Amino acid sequence: MKKTDSWYSDRLEREVNVARWGEVGTPFLIFPTAGGDAEEIERCLVSKTLSEYLEAGQGKIYSCDSIAGRAMLTQEGTPQHRMWLWNQFLEFIGKELVPAIRMDCGSDDIGIVVGGSSIGALNALAAICRFPGDFTHALCMSGTYHLERFLKAPITKDFYHASPVHYLPDLQGPHLDQLRKRFILLASGEGEAEDISESWRAAKILGSKGVPNRVDSWGTEWIHDWPTWRNMLHTYVPELMGLDAD
C-alpha cells in the first residue's frame, strides 16, 4: 500500500523524497509541518486515521519533504535565499509533483485535493491559489499564513509570488476566475499555540476576491498538535474528497 520515491530537482537544487499510501481513488496531497519529511504524516498516524478510505479504494495520500519550511527553521542561507526557495518549492509542486501524481493515477487531468497543518496549511493554500487548474479543494489546518515576521527582511518578488495573502489582493483575470471555482476550508482550534486570527485574515482576503471558503473554529479544547489535525482530517475528508462518510 505504501510507495516511496525520490528525485533530484533542478528547481530546488536538491533531492526530494515523496511518499504515497493507497492504490486507487481521489489523490490527496498532504504537506508536512515546517521541518517534516515525506513520511512525517505516517509517523503521526495520519495514514492510520484515513485507513478506512485507503483500504476501500476511495483515496490515496501523497506527501513530500517540507523543503522551504525546513530551510526557514534551520535558517538556511540568507532571508532572500529562503524567499527564493519558497517560490521554487511551489514551482516544484506544480511542475514536478503534480505531473508525478497524475502519472501514478493514470490520468492527465485528475483533480487533486491538498491539505496541511501549520506551515503545511500555508503550502496547501499557496498550492491551490497558484495552481487552481490542478487542485480542487484545500484543507488548511491551524495555518500560519504571514511569514514575513519570521524572515525579518524586506519582501522580495519571489516571496510576494509565493505568499497568497500578499498577491491575492492584486490577482485578476482567468487565473482568478478559475480559483473562484475552488473551495478552501480553514480550520483551527483556539487552544494552546493556536491563532485562529490567521485563518480569519486569510479568509477575509479570499472572500474579498470571491473565492469560496469557510473558517471552522474547533474551540479552546483543541491545541496546535497532531491529535487536533488527525481529528480534522477524519472529519473533513468525506466532504473534500466527495466520499461517503459512512
pLDDT tens track for 141-160? 999 999 988 888 999 999 99
pLDDT digits (tens, 9 = 90+) for 76-134: 999 999 999 999 999 999 999 999 999 999 999 999 999 999 999 999 999 999 999 99
Check residue 244 and give its pLDDT. Answer: 55
In Å, how far are 13, 110, 115, 218 from 180, measured between CA atoms? Answer: 33, 18, 18, 26
- What grid cell was written down for 144? 500560519
Check residue 152 and give its pLDDT. Answer: 86
Cα angle 105, 111, 112 (rounded to 5 degrees) comes to: 80
DSSP symbol at 178: H
Question: pLDDT at residue 1 above 90?
Answer: no
Q: What is the mean pLDDT of residues 58-63?
A: 96
Largest CA distance in the chain: 50
Check residue 9 and give its pLDDT. Answer: 98
Question: pLDDT at residue 245 above 90?
Answer: no
Express as a percent the part of the chain with pLDDT over 70. Answer: 99
Cα(80)–Cα(63) distance, integer angstroms: 26
Q: Which residue is associated with the grid cell 491575492?
A: 168
Confirm if 179 and 132 have CB atoms less than 8 A apart. Answer: yes
Decide: helix, strand or coil at residue 213. Answer: strand
Cα(169)–Cα(167) distance, integer angstroms: 6
Q: What is the pTM for the complete model shown?
A: 0.97
Cα(210)–Cα(177) distance, integer angstroms: 9
Least confident interval from 5-9, 135-139, 144-148, 198-202: 144-148
**In this structure, which amino acid lies at residue 156?**
T
pLDDT band, residue 246 (cuts 50/70/90): very low
